[in-house]
Amino acid sequence: MAVHAHPDDESSKGAATMARYVDHGHEVLVVSCTGGERGDILNPALKDDPHILRDIVQVRREEMAKAQEILGVQHTWLGFVDSGLPEGDPRPPLPTGCFGLEPLEVTSEALVREIRRFRPHVMTTYDENGGYPHPDHIMTNRVSVAAFLAAGDPEAFPHAGEPWQPLKLYYNGGFSKARLEAFHAALTERGQESPFAEWLERRGDRPDRRVTTRVDVAPWFSRRDDALRAHATQVDPKGAFFAVSNELQAEIWPIEEYELAMSYVATDDDERDLFAGIDPAQADALARSRPELVIDDRVEPTVEMPR
């Protein structure tokens, strides 16, 4: 189960991993916490498209359906409303009724219902700071952690289905400094223009996140890119996401990275598989029991939720 804030996030974060596991026979469910209703149109070619401007909500649902088909995943909408990205100084408050302002017990119960229905062994989501400080990304982390811990507890949300404990929770990796530097060097060495110098400058000296898990996914890069392009309003097809060819990526960075935050099974910090440490013969029985956490490497957030 991959828990994301908006439609398009699933295609820019961990999409090749999901496609790999689908092709290997695993069921994969994407949960979109919001409908992306307040997202900007980021593709310059579509800025003035009257159909999009008339009904962005329906357009984003159609885009998500295309991406879902490309990746081969299942999908569900959790049903909350996009918070938007507050900008300005001072920042404006979040809009009434948005996901970022919903009570945690409401949002986490909705996700617990999906966990108990789908019964995943592994969950992925964002780190405690949202990967970047969008209020919906930060809330997605809060909700995912709370639901991960509550789903196996029969006393938590007893009307939300039979208890089921996912065994591992991961935070998505992304554009780490090391990855950006590798991409920048590869392009400049070949005499190509690199958009990543500006990214590295903005990033500054912030340290990279811990990486525990590296999944080899180069054969699925094309599926990932096709799924991302399906979100046509949200990505510029000539933008930085596509600056490095898939052939070059396969040579210099053929992996997607994850940080293991919590686990009910023993493992190590050099995994090559999100299911590492999970015994298929025992997994369901363990998920139905009340196991003890073996790994709990959550940290406190350093970014406050905008209000």
Cite the annotated binding site for Zn(2+) by residue number. 6, 9, 137
Question: CA 193 to CA 242: how far, in whole Å?
Answer: 12
Annotated binding site: 6, 9, 137
Q: How many residues does the chain have?
A: 307
Nearest alpha carbon to residue 61 among 85, 28, 32: 32
β-bridge mates for residue 130, sequence order: none
CA–CA separation, 216 and 256 (whole Å): 7
Q: Which two tokens stand for residue 210?
A: 């811990």
Taking a C-beta distance cutoff of 8 angstroms, is the pair 19, 72 a contact? yes
Crossing angle of helices 221-230/15-23, nearest 10°? 120
Q: What are phi and psi of 155, to 5 degrees?
A: -85, -10
Cα distance between residue 135 and residue 200, in whole Å: 23
